[in-house]
Amino acid sequence: MGPVSRVRVQPQHDRPAREADLYPPVKAWLEAQGYDVRGEVGAADVVARRDGFPMVVVELKLGFSLALFHQGIARLALTDQVWLAVPTPGKRARRDNVAMARRLGLGVLSIRFRDGHVDELCAPGPYAPRKSAKKVARVEKAFDRLRGDPNAGGSSRYGIVTAYRADAIRCARFLAIHGPSKGSDVAQWTEVPVATRIMADNPYGWFERVSRGVYGLTSDGQKGLADYGDLDL
């Protein structure tokens, strides 16, 4: 596409009542870049052509929907230059749906209908996601901390067992057998390096501080063991 990304035409309403109301600002935006524009061409809402450039297709909707993404994907059989045009979305809708469009190779146009402002939120084209070393390390750490497969089939009957909860269960099992113990002993025998911190933070109400550095199991801790006792940790 050309460098122009903002065009204003005078609207008749504050909010569009029909998808067709989005057509004038989208047409003006394309024409400002030298395209010849037609509406309702075959199955496409908008088709634009310009000598020496790929054909452009724009699908108009009053909001993001699965149907809009389906239409956009279908139009990729015609051209790589496929845009989805919607009235200005809210912050969350913009973030999530623009991210999806980008991954599908679709462009997104935001129409501020009160003044006909057209903004390019993302351009069509192949998407190569960047890997996050921090996120990869976090998942690998969580994987290594889980012993066995406590979430086989999706989850246990009491919900997903996180690596943190699995460590807490191992600490509780040790205390159930040995009674109140030093945090360092629990950490050593359970192979949970953060055992003392888990028992001190006590997020599930399972542990109680008996004396300095020594922790025991509460009645809630006994119940927690009963709930998760069948897990292979």
> What domains can be seen in the chain, in order of their start residue?
19-122 (3.40.1350.10), 133-227 (1.10.10.10)
Percentage with pLDDT > 90 across the chain: 59
**pLDDT tens digit string along 44-82?**
999 999 999 999 999 999 999 999 999 999 999 999 999
User: What would the mean pLDDT of 26-36 be, rounded to a whole number?
Assistant: 95
10 Å CB burial of residue 167 (0-12, 13-18, 19+) is: buried
Tens of pLDDT, residues 158-217: 567 788 888 999 999 999 999 999 999 999 999 899 999 999 999 999 999 999 999 999
pLDDT score, position 12:
45
In this model, does residue 11 exceed pLDDT 60? no
| pLDDT score, position 229 | 66
pLDDT greater than 50 at residue 10? no
The C-alpha atoms of residue 83 and residue 90 are separated, in whole angstroms, by 18
What pLDDT is stored for residue 161 in this prediction?
Answer: 77
Residue 21 has pLDDT above 80, yes or no: yes
Per-residue pLDDT of 92-130, as tens digits, reads: 888 899 999 999 999 999 998 788 899 999 999 887 667
Average pLDDT over residues 4-21: 60
Residue 80 has a pLDDT of: 94
pLDDT at 23 over 70: yes
